[in-house]
């Protein structure tokens, strides 16, 4: 039996040589999103410093929602005696303290380092020798940080407020509750700004990640707390403006109808203080970028 | 062929300091060396060409004006910086893909080209490890890869062999040498190591205190007299010199070599060989004598200083 | 002569020296003598060059063995160390001082009496070409200027032995030429200079004597061209550019020392086991065949080739040292 084997008559070597890139290049206006994605991807890699607080924020959300639901049930069983709105809002307000705490951890871990690390490791040359404006860089970083920290300090209250609205007994009740959503949004924006911009500003000012982190934590946890207590006891509300956490609390309290305290500053003052701190952080950031963006480029 | 770079009376001031004083030239060629002392204005010129600093006068890079089309230029130009330039916690692939995306490549294309660039730079094996842990040689190669990922037409290389051991230097120079042929881009090499420029480049631009000292081919700069040769022997240099002089050939002894000037009447280098046989001297090296780039550079600097007040 | 001649101790002598840091090996069992003049210390990164330099400078104590300067241990004897100048690769940060202050400080640390330190420092800086920047803070100095300041501080006390680790990094061509000229002058004045650099043609500009360190040991030492001759696995390559390379090759093929012949456009490269015989044969062949030779030379008879061949080749006969040369 003859075996018929067909012996191949051809052989090919494929050209693995260089191919020019003929494809599309994405528009310049969207380049900052690449940086945003990078901020988030890098943060995610940072393991415990990021994953834990995010987990904490999720837990807070779940627990608070649970409490709200339970309270709602209790209320309805008790026949609507007083302050249902108040109760839910109280949950929102108290939960904000937790969201804020996790936000502080996230800001300390990621926001302070966002610029400081780049300053140290020569990353600016990497960025600005490419078709990228300093504005794109700033926008990209800030957006990334807002998204990351906002997962706790923005998404937390907003989602809770939406849940609260959904828990209303009927459409009419829901519509009456709707205003808490924009209030939660406002609180979220204020709280997130108060964390992100000063943190990144510190990083830009000090240039070293560890120094910025230390300064941030010391300010936020120690100084801020100390100042707000002292200001409160001494009845010096304007001094209390220096404590960003109490400023955010005052704004939140105002938005959710919490009784205000004579020792606390006025809500509009607190809001203004938040704006001032945020702008200061932003300005520090911009100035630093402007001055060092192209400093090392081109060599000596 | 269009000039890669065109400068027309380019001036730049930083406050009271004139960093660049009226540079005008057209640079053709694919392998260009950018030379100058520290502070001569090289980095200022690079920043201006990348559109990072404004300047007076007319600048054209690949036909584009950095004042108006800075981004278009940076789309087409790659930059390999001198100092460390990497983002912490990234590995080589991530870094190069990020670089590609920042230059506008879509995600998958950026990833593919990142790998391709890393293959070219011979970083295949280690590309998934964090860049922070790389040796100096590997870091240099990553810098090269990230400059190539977006398919540039022109590549600026700033002291690419910094910190590399002799083997690493050799490999890096080889990679750079191949760039125009294998990647289709022109290169501008900025370095103080003049013999590297001699080996790799065909054109040279020399700056001195913000002014253009020279712009043209390497051949022009080094000059070279067709009839001059340098000769090195194993031993017996003086005997050979004497023999050559006997034949009326002009010989000058310089350090460990002889500089021989042949006349039209000599039958080329055969005269040298004949003299070598007569003097029983073993010739080990014979080549057309040309000024080294180093001596040309030093001469140019001296000339410039002599003119300055 | 029967009476024993009293030999002056060599400037540098290391005996069976090893140094390790925990599990990290610096150098193993190195014995080396360095005489007056310039010697190049070469080796891949991590081979032990910096460890060796620091041992020579008395900054490290050998784990085993001794390092001697003019016959005396360099680690403990301060008097001996005053005869040594060391310019390390990475300098400490003294940005707030001016060049003059820095070099004066270094001078005093090296034993120059305070009264004279400032003057000697100024002289050293002027010598190295930094007279214009002598009272400027180091903060604004370019790399080249820093290198020269470092060199001045290593030379200010007029040492007899000078150790330079990558002295030319970052220097522009003018500073380079300056420093190389200075080193040559020092060698001519009888000093002993050990220079370590990755840029081999710079070392070649200064000396033919090398010490090649690899994997913590001395792999080769002596005249680089003699060392080249000993590398059997890599026969010598001789490249000739002429009008009829194939004819030249044909006339040479019969010689049994020729190992390989390779053609390029307008040139031929001949590999031979005996470069002497080839070089001796070429002039005769050229004249007989009437060839017009444009150039003749060896692309691998240099430091770079020696470095490459020795550090990448696997040893053919392990442990067999080779000695040769005049």
* pLDDT value of residue A88: 62
Three-class DSSP category at C151: helix
What does the pLDDT read at residue C319?
43
8 A C-beta contact, residue A60 and residue A156: yes
CB A140 within 8 A of CB A34: yes
Q: Which of B103, B98, B113 is nearest to B77 (CA)?
A: B103
Tell me the chain C residues in contact with residue B303 when contact means C-beta distances shorter than 8 Å: none
SS3 (DSSP) at C221: strand
Contact B208, B299 (CB under 8 A): no
Put simply, whether A300 touches C (Cβ < 8 Å) is yes
Per-residue pLDDT tens listing for chain B (309 residues): 688 999 999 999 888 888 899 899 999 889 999 998 887 888 889 889 988 888 999 999 999 999 898 888 998 999 998 888 778 788 999 999 999 999 989 999 999 999 999 999 988 888 899 888 888 889 999 999 999 999 999 999 999 998 898 988 999 999 999 999 888 899 999 999 998 999 899 999 999 888 888 888 888 887 766 678 989 888 888 899 999 998 888 898 887 788 888 887 777 888 899 999 999 999 999 988 877 888 888 888 888 888 765
User: Would an 8 Å CB–CB cutoff place C44 in contact with chain B?
Assistant: yes
Cα B209 to Cα B21: distance, rounded to the nearest angstrom? 8
> How far off is chain A from C170, nearest CA to CA, in Å?
9
φ/ψ of residue C210, rounded to 5: -130, 160
Per DSSP bridges, beta strands C209-214 and C37-42 are parallel
pTM: 0.83
The model's pLDDT over C90-124, given as tens digits with 9 standing for 90+, comes to 877 788 888 999 999 989 888 888 888 999 999 99
Best probe of the A interface among B104, B107, B120, B147, by most A CBs < 10 A, is B104
- Which domains, and CATH codes, for chain C? 12-227 (3.40.50.300), 235-299 (3.30.70.100)
| Nearest beta carbon to residue B282 from set C145, C177, C280 | C280
Structure tokens at A21: 């890139």
Could you tell me how many residues make up chain B? 309
Buried b (16+ CB within 10 A) or exposed e, C220-258: bbbebbebbbebeeebbbbbbbbeebeebbebbeeeebb
Which of C283, C285, C286, C292 to mutate to test binding with chain B, by most B CBs within 10 Å of its CB?
C283
Which of C154, C157, C156, C158 has the alpha carbon at shortest distance from C166?
C154
Q: Is C140 on the interface with B (CB under 8 A)?
A: no
Q: Are C269 and C297 in contact (CB under 8 A)?
A: no
Residue-wise pLDDT for C8-31, tens only, equals 788 999 999 999 988 888 899 999
Q: What is the set of domains in chain B, with CATH numbers?
A: 5-222 (3.40.50.300), 228-288 (3.30.70.100)
Would you list the DSSP string of B239-306?
A: HHHHHHHHTT-EEEEETTEEEEE--TTS-TTHHHHHHHHHHT--EEEEEE----HHHHHHHHHHHHHH
Taking the Cβ of residue A121 and every Cβ of chain B, the question of whether any pair is shorter than 8 Å is answered with yes
pLDDT at A87: 63
Rounded to two decimals, the ipTM of the complex is: 0.81
Spell out which residues of chain A touch residue C140, defining contact as CB-CB under 8 Å.
none
Q: Which residue has the tokens 């690493």?
A: B168
Asked if residue C2 has pLDDT above 60, the reply is no
> What whole-number percentage of chain B has pLDDT above 90?
41
- B164 reaches C (C-beta below 8 A): yes
Q: Is C225 on the interface with B (CB under 8 A)?
A: no
Query: What are the strands, taking DSSP E only, across chain A?
Result: none
pLDDT at residue C322 greater than cutoff 90: no
Look-up of token digits 């390029």: C264
* The predicted structure's pLDDT at residue C326: 39
Q: Which residue has the tokens 């005769």?
A: C284
Q: Single out the residue of C157, C170, C202 nearest to residue C183, CA to CA.
A: C202
Touching subunits of B (3+ CB pairs, under 8 Å) are A, C
Domain spans of chain A, in order of start: 30-291
List for chain C the helix, strand, coil content (%; round to 5): 35, 25, 35
Which stretches of C72-172 are DSSP H helices?
A: 78-81, 99-109, 114-127, 143-155
**Which residues in chain C are contacts of B193 at CB distance < 8 A?**
199
User: Which residue in C296, C298, C308 is closest to B167 by CB distance?
Assistant: C308
Q: Any chain C CB within 8 A of the CB of B70?
A: no
CB C202 within 8 A of CB C168: yes
**Is residue A298 within 8 angstroms of chain C, CB to CB?**
no
Q: Is B269 near chain C, with CB under 8 Å?
A: yes
Q: For residues B300 and B293, what is the distance between their CA atoms, to the nearest angstrom?
A: 10
Q: How far is C114 from chain B (nearest CA, A)?
A: 34
């Amino acid at each position: 039996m003859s075996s018929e084997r067909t012996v191949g008559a051809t052989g090919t070597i494929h050209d693995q040589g260089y191919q020019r890139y003929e494809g599309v290049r994405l528009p310049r206006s969207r380049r900052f999103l690449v940086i945003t994605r990078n901020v988030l991807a890098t943060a995610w890699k940072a393991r415990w410093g990021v994953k834990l607080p995010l987990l904490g924020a999720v837990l807070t959300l779940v627990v608070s929602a649970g409490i709200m639901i339970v309270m709602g049930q209790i209320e309805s069983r008790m026949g609507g005696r007083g302050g249902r709105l108040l109760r839910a809002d109280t949950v929102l307000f108290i939960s904000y303290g937790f969201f804020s705490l996790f936000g502080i951890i996230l800001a300390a871990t990621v926001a302070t380092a966002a610029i400081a690390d780049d300053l140290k490791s020569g990353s600016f040359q990497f960025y600005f020798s490419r078709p990228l404006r300093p504005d794109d860089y700033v926008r990209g970083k800030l957006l990334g940080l807002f998204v990351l920290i906002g997962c706790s300090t923005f998404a937390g209250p907003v989602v809770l407020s939406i849940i609260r609205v959904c828990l209303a007994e009927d459409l009419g009740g829901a519509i009456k509750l709707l205003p808490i959503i924009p209030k939660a949004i406002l609180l979220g924006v204020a709280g997130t700004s108060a964390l992100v911009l000063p943190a990144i500003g510190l990083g830009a000012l000090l240039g070293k990640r560890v120094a910025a982190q230390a300064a941030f934590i010391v300010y936020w946890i120690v100084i801020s707390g100390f100042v707000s207590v002292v200001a409160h006891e001494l009845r010096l509300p304007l001094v209390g403006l220096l404590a960003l956490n109490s400023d955010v609390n005052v704004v939140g309290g105002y938005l959710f109808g919490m009784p205000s305290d004579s020792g606390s500053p006025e809500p509009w003052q607190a809001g203004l203080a938040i704006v001032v701190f945020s702008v200061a952080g932003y300005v520090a950031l911009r100035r630093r970028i402007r001055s060092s963006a192209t400093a090392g480029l081109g060599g000596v | 062929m269009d000039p890669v770079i065109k400068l027309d009376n380019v001036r730049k001031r930083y406050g009271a300091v004139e960093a660049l004083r009226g540079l005008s030239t057209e640079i053709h060629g694919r392998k260009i060396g950018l030379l100058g002392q520290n502070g001569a204005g090289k980095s200022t010129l690079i920043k201006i060409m990348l559109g990072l600093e404004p300047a007076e006068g007319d600048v054209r890079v690949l036909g584009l004006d950095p004042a108006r089309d800075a981004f278009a230029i940076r789309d087409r130009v790659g930059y390999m910086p001198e100092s460390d330039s990497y983002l912490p916690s990234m590995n080589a692939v991530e870094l190069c893909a990020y670089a590609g995306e920042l230059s506008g490549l879509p995600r998958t294309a950026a990833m593919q080209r990142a790998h391709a660039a890393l293959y070219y730079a011979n970083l295949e094996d280690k590309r998934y490890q964090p860049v922070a842990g790389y040796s100096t040689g590997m870091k240099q190669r990553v810098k090269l890869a990230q400059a190539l990922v977006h398919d540039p037409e022109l590549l600026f290389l700033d002291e690419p062999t910094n910190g590399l051991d002799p083997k690493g230097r050799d490999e890096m120079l080889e990679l750079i040498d191949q760039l125009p042929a294998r990647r289709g881009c022109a290169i501008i090499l900025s370095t103080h190591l003049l013999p590297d420029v001699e080996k790799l480049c065909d054109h040279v631009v020399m700056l001195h205190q913000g002014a253009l000292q020279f712009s043209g081919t390497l051949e022009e700069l080094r000059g070279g007299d067709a009839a001059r040769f340098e000769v090195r022997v194993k031993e017996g240099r003086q005997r050979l010199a004497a023999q050559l002089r006997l034949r009326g050939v002009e010989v000058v002894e310089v350090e460990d070599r002889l500089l021989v000037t042949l006349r039209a009447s000599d039958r080329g280098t055969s005269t040298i060989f004949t003299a070598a046989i007569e003097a029983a001297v073993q010739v080990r090296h014979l080549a057309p004598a040309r000024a080294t780039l180093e001596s040309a550079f030093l001469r140019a600097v001296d000339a410039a200083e002599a003119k300055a007040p | 002569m029967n009476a024993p001649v009293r030999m002056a101790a060599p400037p540098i002598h290391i005996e069976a020296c090893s140094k390790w840091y925990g599990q990290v090996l610096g150098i193993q069992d190195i014995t080396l003598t360095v005489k007056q003049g310039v010697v190049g210390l070469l080796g891949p990164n991590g081979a032990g060059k910096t460890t060796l330099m620091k041992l020579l400078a008395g900054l490290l104590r050998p784990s085993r063995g001794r390092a001697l300067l003019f016959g005396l241990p360099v680690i403990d004897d301060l008097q001996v160390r005053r005869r040594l100048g060391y310019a390390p690769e990475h300098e400490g940060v003294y940005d707030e001082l001016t060049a003059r202050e820095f070099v004066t400080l270094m001078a005093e640390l090296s034993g120059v009496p305070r009264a004279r330190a400032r003057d000697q420092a100024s002289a050293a800086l002027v010598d190295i070409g930094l007279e214009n920047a002598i009272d400027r803070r180091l903060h604004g100095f370019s790399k080249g200027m820093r290198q020269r300041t470092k060199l001045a501080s290593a030379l200010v006390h007029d040492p007899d032995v000078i150790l330079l680790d990558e002295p030319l990094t970052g220097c522009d061509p003018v500073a380079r030429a300056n420093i190389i000229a200075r080193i040559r002058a020092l060698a001519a004045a009888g000093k002993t200079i050990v220079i370590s650099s990755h840029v081999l043609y710079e070392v070649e500009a200064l000396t033919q004597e090398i010490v090649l360190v690899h994997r913590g040991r001395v792999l080769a030492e002596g005249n680089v061209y003699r060392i080249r001759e000993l590398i059997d696995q890599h026969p010598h390559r001789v490249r000739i550019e002429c009008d009829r390379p194939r004819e030249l090759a044909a006339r040479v093929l019969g010689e049994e020392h020729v190992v390989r012949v390779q053609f390029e456009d307008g040139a031929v490269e001949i590999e031979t086991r005996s470069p002497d015989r080839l070089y001796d044969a070429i002039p005769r062949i050229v004249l007989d065949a009437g060839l017009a030779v444009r150039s003749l030379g060896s692309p691998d008879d240099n430091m770079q080739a020696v470095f490459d061949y020795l550090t990448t080749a696997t040893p053919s006969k392990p442990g067999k040292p080779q000695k040769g040369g005049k």
